Amino acid sequence: MSNQVEKAQSLEQLHTAPEILRVVNVWDVVSARAVAALPETKALATAGHSIAATFGYEDGENIPLDVMLDMVGRIVAATDLPVSSDLDAGYGNAGETTRRAIGVGVVGANVEDRLRPLDVSVANVRAIIAAGESEGVPFVLNARTDAFVRAGDRPREASIADAIERGRAYLDAGASLVFVPGILDAETTRDLVAGLGTGKLSVIGLPGSLSAAEYEALGVARISYGPMTQRVALTALQDVAIDLYADGLIPSSTRALN
What integer pLDDT is reported at residue 7 of this predicted model?
A: 98
What integer pLDDT is reported at residue 208 of this predicted model?
A: 96
Spell out, as residue ranges, where the chain has pLDDT lower than 50: 1
Contact 24, 225 (CB under 8 A): yes
Note the residue count of the chain. 258
Domain boundaries, the chain: 4-228
What integer pLDDT is reported at residue 47 of this predicted model?
A: 98
| pLDDT tens-place string over residues 131-182 | 999 999 999 999 999 999 999 999 999 999 999 999 999 999 999 999 999 9
What integer pLDDT is reported at residue 2 of this predicted model?
A: 58
Q: How many CB atoms lie within 10 A of CB 52?
A: 24
CA 208 to chain centre: 19
CATH architecture for the domain at 4-228: Alpha-Beta Barrel (3.20)
Buried b / exposed e over 138-158, threshold 16 CB at 10 Å, is bbbbbbbbbbbbbbeeeeeee
The residue among 186, 146, 184 whose CA lies nearest residue 166 is 146
CA distance 59 to 32: 20
Q: Which residues pair with 177 in a beta bridge?
A: 142
What integer pLDDT is reported at residue 15 of this predicted model?
A: 97
Please, what is the angle between helix 29-36 and helix 65-77, to 10°? 30
What integer pLDDT is reported at residue 1 of this predicted model?
A: 44
